Amino acid sequence: MGQGRSSATQVMILGLAIIMCVLAIAQPTVGTPYTVGDAGGWTFNVVNWPNGKSFRAGDVLAFNYASSLHNVVVVNRGGYTSCNPQSGAKVYTSGKDNIKLSKGPNYFICTIPGHCQSGMKIAVNAA
């Protein structure tokens, strides 16, 4: 009888060790946060802000802006180029929006008239 309990305890310890290893491997990694426009925030002439930065899928862009003056709209390449969002585009209006990057190209514009045309748009490619 003592032998059976010892074996059961060893199996439990081994099982716990396996679970701990799986949990350690499976923990999601948190992406790097970036503040769009740095200290100036999401405003005019940020179109070149991504230059020289390396982004990865899962990184988070923090868009900080006056919610009464601007917005952030996730668009496709055509919407970025034309400064016109496609139907159903996701619009953010809180003034403190955190958006996780997807792998590949990510496009953002402000749809307040004239803002996108004045450089209030960014294109970010995430590896």
pLDDT at 61 (0 to 100): 98
Which residues does the chain have with pLDDT short of 70? Answer: 1-29
In contact, 9 and 35? CB cutoff 8 Å: no
pLDDT at 17 (0 to 100): 60
pLDDT at 25 (0 to 100): 53
pLDDT at 7 (0 to 100): 67
pLDDT at 125 (0 to 100): 98
Q: Which of 39, 13, 36 is nearest to 107 (CA)?
A: 36
pLDDT at 5 (0 to 100): 62
pLDDT at 29 (0 to 100): 56
Q: Extract long-range pairs of 3-11: CB within 8 Å, 24+ residues apart.
A: none
Placement of tokens 């070149």 in the chain: 48
CA distance 38 to 64: 9
CA distance 110 to 42: 9
Coil, strand or helix at 81: helix
